[in-house]
Amino acid sequence: MDYLPLFFDLKQQRCLLVGGGGIALRKARLLVKAGARVRVVAPRVGAELASLVAGDGEVRLETYSAAQLQGCVLVIAATDDETLNAQVSRDARARNLPVNVVDSPRLCSFIMPAIVDRSPLVIGISSGGQAPVLARLLRARIESLVPAAYGRLAGLASRFRDRAKRLFTDVDRRRDFWEQHLQGPVAELVFSGRETEAETLLQKQLEAREQGLPETVRGEVYLVGGGPGDPDLLTFRALRLMQQADVVLYDRLVSEPVLDLVRRDAERIYVGKRRCDHALPQADINQLLVELAQRGQRVLRLKGGDPFIFGRGGEEIERLAEHHIPFQVVPGITAASGCAAYAGIPLTHRDCAQSVRFVTGHLQSDGINLNWPELVEPTQTLVFYMGLTGLTAICEALIAHGRSPATPAALVEKGTTPQQRVFSADIASLPAVVAANEVRAPTLLIIGEVVRLREKLNWFQAAGD
């Protein structure tokens, strides 16, 4: 280890910043955020920097001298004058003051890390000055994995820290308690913006322990949209919940790459549906979610696309609400948006489509029962989910109700995945084009003038293209 990571408490402490330009401004922002009183020394100081340190800080429009170190606890040199930077470093070291010289590791006694700020939780990442860009890239990665609400969660824990310490005199038991609650229902309530409920729940758990009662085991359900197939389209929250669930109920439309991101040791239950082939009836899925949560398990209900767009997610959480089971909903990129984007087809366009309509093409026993007169408006885009089986009937009905047979249409197969294929034609001939190829679900049918733009806007090259 080249450097020992340390954190300075700079609240109301005087820090010297030598330099008045853009680099000095960036360092001043960090110092001010940490509560320091910043003394800026430079012949010229930018207006924004001067304004930033006004109040508790000070600006001295003069050349640096060692006298400026008087009363300071930390020093940063941020100038483009190598000779001056070296002098600041020597003077600070002679007084045993920690000093950082920007972009000059050999002149530093400490390194400024790339920072992930979730105060009071703070993460510092450093390459020891050897590869600062790499440290910043890693910071960006961690930023995406650590929700901003972690700071609020840390604040909640701090309010109960002394109480938990008195209750759990054994260090291992105290650690187990916090590990359980900082990644369970209490944490999820904080992440959902329900801090009052989180505090009440944590207080109840502590009270139960103080009274010698067994702790209430509370399950919860995460209704998560898995998107149209490409795992890169998952939200950060979806990934986090997928990694902490105890059991996963997943659909047929959840792609293998997405499913691979679920926690390895989680129990997996397939509840997918094909036409006339339901692994588990919807009512049984609803009840299973209730039963698993009542056992105290964290249940991930993983759906393809978005759970509230032809996903029957509303029915499932309605059942959970009836049984007072906590749940949260994580939207996913719906197939219409994802598949259209990867096919190079904008769903709306100022020149040819002022609206878009999502329609289910699922066949009932008596055919597709839709309000066809509303669907033949030429300036709207139609997107049919589950339209492969009823493709011929859909196209014939649109033509019969007045939509031009020359209306462009495209069928997207396995959209957003490496196996994506797009079949384009007009609504009169598209059924024959699809019939001539071995097309398999999942598919998405897009109808409207926007399909003509695919030739110009197609950007995603899949194996099927």
Closest to 369 (Cα-Cα) out of 399, 388, 393: 393
Backbone angles phi, psi at 318, to 5 degrees: -60, -40
Question: CA angle at residue 452 from 337 to 456, to 5 degrees?
Answer: 85
Measured distance CA(184)–CA(220) in Å, rounded: 9
Residue 386, annotated as binding a ligand: yes
Amino acid code (one letter) for 206: L
Tokens of 66: 């060692």
Element (H, E) at 248: strand 247-250
Q: How many residues does the chain have?
A: 465
Angstrom CA distances, 319 to 119, 282, 303, 331, stand at 38, 11, 17, 19
Q: Characterize 360-378 residue by residue with b for buried, 16 or more Cβ atoms within 10 angstroms of its Cβ, and e for exposed.
A: ebebeeeebebeeeebbbe
- Chain center to CA of 339: 20
Residue 345, annotated as binding a ligand: no
Classify strands 277-278 and 273-274 as parallel, antiparallel or unpaired: antiparallel
Of the candidates 230, 251, 303, 414, the residue annotated as catalytic is 251
251 in catalytic set: yes
Residue 335, annotated as binding a ligand: yes
Find out whether 465 and 420 touch, Cβ atoms under 8 Å.
yes
Residue 214, annotated as binding a ligand: no
Measured distance CA(387)–CA(308) in Å, rounded: 18
Using DSSP, state whether 169 is helix, strand or coil: coil
Find out whether 156 and 115 touch, Cβ atoms under 8 Å.
no
Residue 351, annotated as binding a ligand: no
Residue 155, annotated as binding a ligand: no
Measured distance CA(451)–CA(437) in Å, rounded: 20
Residue 306, annotated as binding a ligand: yes
CB atoms near residue 162 (< 10 Å): 9
Q: What sections of 6-147 are H helices per DSSP? A: 22-33, 47-53, 82-94, 132-145
Residue 373, annotated as binding a ligand: no
Residue 235, annotated as binding a ligand: no
Residue 338, annotated as binding a ligand: no
Backbone angles phi, psi at 104, to 5 degrees: -140, 75
Measured distance CA(323)–CA(296) in Å, rounded: 14
Q: What is the largest CA-CA distance in the chain?
A: 91
CB atoms near residue 41 (< 10 Å): 24
Closest to 34 (Cα-Cα) out of 16, 55, 7, 61: 7
Q: Which residues pair with 100 in a beta bridge?
A: 76
273 in catalytic set: yes
Of the candidates 117, 246, 273, 426, the residue annotated as catalytic is 273
Residue 147, annotated as binding a ligand: no
Using CB atoms within 10 Å of the CB of residue 104, give its burial: 0 to 12 exposed, 13 to 18 middle, 19+ buried. Answer: middle
Look at phi and psi of residue 198 and say left if phi exceeds 0, alpha if psi is from -120 to 50, else beta: alpha
Task: Cite the active site residues.
Answer: 251, 273
Residues at the binding site are: 22-23, 43-44, 228, 304-306, 309, 334-335, 386, 415
Residues at the binding site for S-adenosyl-L-methionine are: 228, 304-306, 309, 334-335, 386, 415
Residues at the binding site for NAD(+) are: 22-23, 43-44
